[in-house]
Amino acid sequence: MRIISYNTNGIRAAIKKGFIDWLKTDPADIICIQETKAQEADVDMTEIEQLGFQHHWFSAQKKGYSGVCVLTKIKADKVFNGNGFELSDFEGRVIRLDFGDITLLNCYYPSGTSGSERQTYKYQWLQEFQDYVDDLKMKRKKIIICGDYNIAHKEIDIHDPKGNKNSSGFLPEERAWMDQFLASGFIDTYRHCNPTTTGAYSWWSQRFPSVRIQNKGWRIDYISVSKALEKQIKAATIFPDVKHSDHCPIYLELAK
């Protein structure tokens, strides 16, 4: 099972920048997209379907905002939209697919960069999501959580940790949440495979074009797996040279 997680920052914009041509290179069996910024009816999926992908959408009620989608060449047994929390579901932030005994969550965690109200909601969402996952773990042991977590976990995951110590996405409370989330039984697959790799980022600010060229980025996109899948982790990497978005795709391969 080859999985990619990718915040496209608008799937229609990404398609205009060559997203479908990239799909034709067969980058993975399952592509988890965050921040679609579209309803399913807004996007012509013909070419994507011709590549063998089924597609499952959970869009925000607000048009042009948030939303998640999964493209998969492996047929899902079950699909569930949302995590049962009203605002999260209104914003289209979580979709779940079951493949046999494996559960895949594609998630777009809130950002707190637009002000204190959204930062407060971000903390609320993190707690609600933890409760949701804790409940899910009682029934499903093999869980994969793909997505834009909007948190750089460690100093190694951000180009300027000192300069960003008060920035949303690298606040002590957010990083502490990541600590306890992973301690609750999950593995950051990229760090599992690349424990000391520096300069490995998945997002670069669009405010200054030179930022990506200079690789002044943040690693805020993750594919985490529950401990029950640890022995199946085969490879995990980041594709910074794929440029349809201010994020880049991240990759996990699981052995059978």
d(CA 10, CA 69): 11
Per the annotation, the verdict on 21 as an active-site residue is: no
Looking at the DSSP assignment, which residues form a beta bridge with residue 173? Answer: none
Measured in Å, how far apart are the chain's first and last C-alpha atoms? 7
The answer to whether residues 7 and 247 touch, using CB atoms and an 8 Å cutoff, is yes
- Out of 6, 108, 109, 132, pick the active-site residue: 108
Per the annotation, the verdict on 109 as an active-site residue is: no
Q: Using the Cα atoms of residue 200, residue 202, residue 205 and residue 208 in order, give the sign of their dihedral.
A: positive
- Out of 6, 29, 132, 148, pick the active-site residue: 148
d(CA 199, CA 239): 12
> Active-site residues: which are they?
108, 148
